[in-house]
Amino acid sequence: MNQTITYRACPACEATGSTLVPDYSPAPWEIASCDSCDSVFLRNPPATEALEEEFAWEKTYTAKKEASRGSTVFSPMARKIRNGLKMYRDQNRLFRKWFGETGKVLDIGCGWGQRIAPPMVPFGIELSTALHAISDETMRARGGYCLHGAGAEAIWDFDPESFDGIVMFSYLEHETEVMKVLQGAHRALKPSGGVFIRVPNYASLNRRVIGKTWCGFRYPDHVNYFTLQSLKDVAARAGFTAELVNKITLPVDDNISVLLRKTQSHN
């Protein structure tokens, strides 16, 4: 008897139809393109529990780094440009500019909890059990705390308009419920606040030239593959406008960085 396979809906538009991208789909993982909006995503991701333990970031990062060695052509050029521009050198300087010197900042997928520096007050959400314990201790010492759990669920535990800034640094590509976490961010963000997002750039020259060995592919913990346009589209559905941060380096950059602000009609 043939068993019907149920695939994940598109994380951007929630359509159920998708087409396999075979060159980027090593068994058993299936990368697909949405038939409605062309978003690219892993349509058969593992359960959240597996991402929490078996495929936790700190366990897969080193292996992927080794496997991806030599899989970038243009990234050194992007790094050289970034290093030459003052605006890219100090990430926390940008956070203070966007979110305020003493702003309350939520870091989703916060890892070890070191990303948000004083005098900003750090809060976090972390799925990995081991990393959560470290980040919670770090953040409590600085006036905040870290919740343990999936970002799309835990973000709803914060009060509305709690934060001056929200950071999703190398996080949204891991989140199966993209709209839910963005809608939660919209609710938790102050009207004047902003959301910083950094994700792999599926439209990068590296991916186009190198193909299936591109450094942005990580199976199965990368479940979304954004272009600037698909990231703007999903942000708009959640009530945000998106401003590109890495305007100069984007054509040769393996990552996209954007700053979201609430649209007037959704405030």
Q: What letter represents residue 220's amino acid?
A: P
- What pLDDT does residue 249 have? 87
- What pLDDT does residue 76 have? 60
- What pLDDT does residue 109 have? 96
- What pLDDT does residue 2 have? 46
Q: How many helices (H) and strands (E) does the chain have?
A: 10, 11
74: phi then psi, degrees, rounded to nearest 5: -100, -10
Identify the structural domains of the chain with CATH numbers, from first to last.
52-266 (3.40.50.150)
N-terminal to C-terminal alpha carbon distance within the chain:
52
Please state, in angstroms and rounded to a whole number, the distance separating the CA atoms of residues 82 and 203: 19
Q: In the numeric block, which tokens belong to residue 200?
A: 């792999």
Tally of CB atoms within 10 A around 99? 26
C-alpha gyration radius of the chain: 18
Please state, in angstroms and rounded to a whole number, the distance separating the CA atoms of residues 165 and 99: 5
Contact call for residues 23 and 34 (beta carbons, < 8 A) = no
Q: In the numeric block, which tokens belong to residue 74?
A: 């243009």
- What pLDDT does residue 78 have? 54
Which residue's entry shows tokens 């953040």? 139
Q: Is 166 left (phi over 0), alpha (psi -120 to 50) or beta?
A: beta
- What pLDDT does residue 63 have? 53
pLDDT per residue as tens, the chain (267 positions) = 445 577 999 998 999 999 999 999 999 999 999 999 999 999 999 876 555 555 555 555 555 555 445 455 555 655 555 555 544 557 899 999 999 999 999 999 999 999 999 999 999 999 999 999 999 999 999 999 999 999 999 999 999 999 999 999 999 999 999 999 999 999 999 999 999 999 999 999 999 998 999 999 999 999 999 999 999 999 999 999 999 999 988 888 999 999 999 997 655
Contact call for residues 43 and 58 (beta carbons, < 8 A) = no
- What pLDDT does residue 77 have? 55
DSSP H or E run through 172: none
Q: State CA 248 to chain mean position distance.
A: 21
- CA quadruple 130, 184, 262, 57: dihedral sign: positive
Question: Strands 240-244, 224-225: parallel, antiparallel or unpaired by DSSP?
Answer: unpaired
- What pLDDT does residue 1 have? 42
Please state, in angstroms and rounded to a whole number, the distance separating the CA atoms of residues 217 and 71: 10
